[in-house]
């Protein structure tokens, strides 16, 4: 018997066919850990694992634009599968971009020559926000769902779950207002202070679009989702709590109603650990700046932690990577842990170094 | 009697002149707070207070380059005095740039059209480091000392101290290697991982140049100094501790031997509070992300804290600025506190908003 594809719907409909061999698939390790079940070692994946550090990714990408790769389900599925096949990660995060939601609500973007995101017409006024359209994911972002279905059909029989994702309201608002990435996001922060009601309206609009897009990804086969509030850490903790947190929490609560676990990532997470904790997210994905065992002391025993090897540590020799990865797991403990980096894998990391990280987790005992 | 200038040396040499009126100047409030003496309200100043938000600064700057302003003592002194005269801050940080030390050790820099610093030939190898020259501050950076003498002559009779400053070893190394400012400093972090010995040698070389430059500023009249490890927060706390901290601490210890208090600033300070604390710096200047009262809980009662209003909060209406400033002081308490921002004042902040911040501290009771 060869399994070439898998559909839960088909499997259920044929239950009465006595020639059908029913196989109970083991619960994926990633989901067991995220659901706080006992595991013998942490699952492992890497943010941006379908990315430029892989020669196989660069081969696909060399023929087409980033935009084409995002919007062509066969190709997005192909690169999503690469790190699973090549490195054996325990989950496949769908290849996409957090900015696709901006395009869907009427804020077009593109990538400049250096690969940096650019918003064609940044939001700068309340009237810009009034012009936004609601996101209709099944029509405008259908390609994301299609890519997820393709990947899930292949990986579900292998007990590897697909992770869907979206940018969080603040981070998407920051791109929409700033117009590009930034270290300080000074335009965004000025906007939120000078026009708090407009800013809040933007966050609300984004939150609904994010919820719709995540629900759509779940319906398409995503078995967990990650919400990236990558730049939320630029804010002070009390201001994040007052202005941003209600919208972040709203997204998380709505997704959990679908019975799907959600992980919240933040760069600059240390001052925001309590904000992150109180969102009730199932997993907290933290940056590399504070060791996981210290993070655990702050957040208590409730959440699963995800992280947090310094992405630049993957420039180290494989034996150093292995040692630091093992230390991270040992210091924190195996349970309620998903091994990952503290931010996305950098494009110039040698593949063998990424493999050393993955293998160190998989061989942990 | 009019005091037009002041020199401690002259005052001492004329002690036997019975026509000389000897005046015991009160200890500046800033130094009292930094020396942990009782004060009725915190002193206040702002990082980058001699800067573009002041029309009077822009008037001086419009006629000359930033480099000329840095290297012309009369002009540097003039803009250093502006926030004291215009806003009544309690200390005058000398107008200069942290990069001057790089120029002095053989790493020339300039500013691009957007005002960003650029290193002409970034350090990229161990042999680049071998070519560095020792800093000889009295000759190459004499203009900094001269500017300090001029400002101190005017401000000492008014009990306003001059603050000298320098970039910390890591932050200067980051500029020297990266070649420009950066959000991620990925080239720097790759260098430190792949060439740890060369990186350490660079930090050592920089530390000696920094110590020499700070001693020179103290000899010229600076009564306190601040060490800016602005980008140290990009590192993980344990790696900072292992690789960077010994050099930071060395600088701090050497300056304290001169009997002058030193403040350590770090952006992204929250994960690094223990590193900062253990340097033994007299004052810890922290970013805006975590409220000062929470920072105090982590660092304990020993150090003076400096900070930490979110610089973007100065975009708020004056009454909001006043309320948040008062809350910051009340939540932390008056003692062992120097009121400041969490980073430099932004160039497009209205002067009246800066004044609202300064006045809120000065009127605190």
* Pairs of residues, one from chain A and one from chain B, whose beta carbons lie less than 8 Å apart: 74
CB-CB neighbors (< 8 A) of A342 in chain B: 236
Which residue is it, tokens 């995800």?
Answer: A306
User: What pTM was computed for the model?
Assistant: 0.93
Q: Residue B289: closest CA among chain A residues belongs to which residue?
A: A236
> Considering only CB atoms, which chain B residues are within 8 Å of A315?
189-190, 193-194
Considering only the beta carbons, identify the residue of B193, B233, B312 that sits closest to A312: B193
Sheet holding A262-265, edge to edge: A92-93, A162-167, A224-228, A262-265, A283-285, A304-309, A337-341
A159–chain B Cβ distance below 8 A for any pair: no
A23 or A91, greater pLDDT: A91
Q: Are the C-beta atoms of residues A147 and A162 closer than 8 Å to each other?
A: no
Over residues B113-144, the pLDDT tens digits come to 888 899 999 999 999 999 999 877 667 999 99
Asked if B87 and B143 count as a contact pair (C-beta separation under 8 A), the reply is no
- Picking from A184, A234, A271, A287 by the largest number of B CB atoms within 10 A of its own CB, the best residue to mutate is A271
Q: Rounded to whole angstroms, how far apart are CA atoms B273 and B253?
A: 18
Query: What pLDDT is recorded for position A324?
Result: 98
pLDDT of A4 > 80? The answer is no
Given the residues B53, B57, B90, B97, the one annotated as active site: B97
Contacts made by residues A185-190, CB under 8 angstroms, sequence distance 24+? A185/A231, A185/A234, A186/B312, A186/B346, A187/A122, A189/A234, A189/A235, A189/B310, A189/B312, A189/B315, A190/B312, A190/B315, A190/B348
- The confidence score (pLDDT) of residue B7 equals 52
How high is the pLDDT of residue B15? 54
H-assigned helices in chain B: 8-13, 29-34, 55-61, 66-71, 73-87, 100-104, 126-130, 137-140, 142-155, 169-178, 186-194, 196-219, 237-239, 245-257, 273-278, 292-299, 318-332, 351-362
Rounded to a whole number of angstroms, the distance from the CA of A154 to the nearest CA of chain B is 36
Task: Give me the pLDDT at residue A14, please.
Answer: 52
pLDDT attached to residue A1: 41
Residue A11 confidence (pLDDT) above 90: no
pLDDT of B45: 98
Alpha carbon of A301: minimum distance to chain B alpha carbons (Å): 20
Band (pLDDT 50/70/90 cuts) for residue A22 is confident
- Residue B48: active-site member: yes
Tens of pLDDT, residues B35-56: 999 999 999 999 999 999 999 9
Mean pLDDT, residues A107-123 taken together: 91
Q: Which tokens in the block code for residue B81?
A: 């005095």
What DSSP designation does A97 have?
-
Token readout for B156 is 């000492």
Domains delineated in chain A? 28-362 (3.20.20.210)
* B122 vs B108: CA distance, rounded Å: 9
Residue B18 is predicted with a pLDDT of 66
Residue A3 has pLDDT above 80, yes or no: no
pLDDT of residue B1 exceeding 50, the answer is: no
């Amino acid at each position: 018997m060869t399994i070439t594809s898998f559909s839960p719907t088909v499997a259920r409909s044929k239950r009465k066919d006595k020639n059908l061999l029913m196989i109970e698939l083991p619960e994926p390790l990633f989901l067991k850990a995220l659901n706080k079940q006992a595991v013998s070692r942490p699952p492992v994946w890497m943010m941006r694992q379908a990315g430029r550090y892989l020669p196989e990714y660069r081969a696909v990408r060399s023929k087409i634009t980033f935009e084409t790769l995002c919007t062509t389900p066969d190709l997005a599925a192909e690169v999503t599968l690469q790190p699973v096949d090549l490195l054996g990660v325990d989950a496949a995060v769908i290849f996409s971009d957090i900015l696709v939601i901006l395009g869907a609500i009427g804020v077009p973007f593109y990538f400049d020559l250096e690969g940096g995101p650019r918003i064609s017409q940044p939001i700068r006024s309340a009237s810009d926000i009034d012009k936004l359209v609601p996101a209709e994911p099944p029509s405008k972002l259908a390609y994301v769902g299609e890519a997820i279905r393709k990947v899930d059909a292949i990986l579900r029989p292998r007990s590897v779950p697909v992770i869907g994702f979206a940018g969080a309201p603040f981070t998407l608002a920051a791109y929409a207002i700033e117009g590009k990435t930034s270290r300080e996001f000074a335009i965004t922060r000025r906007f939120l202070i000078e026009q708090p009601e407009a800013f809040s309206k933007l966050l609300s609009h984004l939150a609904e679009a994010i919820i719709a897009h995540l629900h759509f990804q779940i319906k398409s086969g995503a078995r967990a989702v990650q919400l990236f509030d990558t730049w939320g850490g630029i804010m002070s903790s009390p201001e994040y709590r007052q202005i941003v947190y209600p919208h972040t929490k709203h997204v998380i609560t709505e997704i959990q109603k679908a019975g799907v676990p959600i992980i919240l990532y933040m760069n600059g997470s240390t001052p925001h650990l309590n904000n992150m904790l109180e969102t009730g997210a199932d997993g907290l994905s933290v940056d590399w700046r504070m060791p996981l065992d210290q993070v655990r002391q702050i957040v208590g025993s409730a959440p699963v932690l995800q992280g947090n090897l310094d992405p630049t540590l993957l420039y180290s020799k494989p034996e150093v990577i292995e040692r630091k990865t093992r230390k991270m797991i040992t210091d924190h403990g195996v349970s309620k842990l998903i091994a990952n980096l503290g931010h996305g894998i950098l494009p110039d990391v040698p593949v063998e170094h990424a493999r050393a990280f993955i293998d160190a987790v998989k061989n942990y005992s």
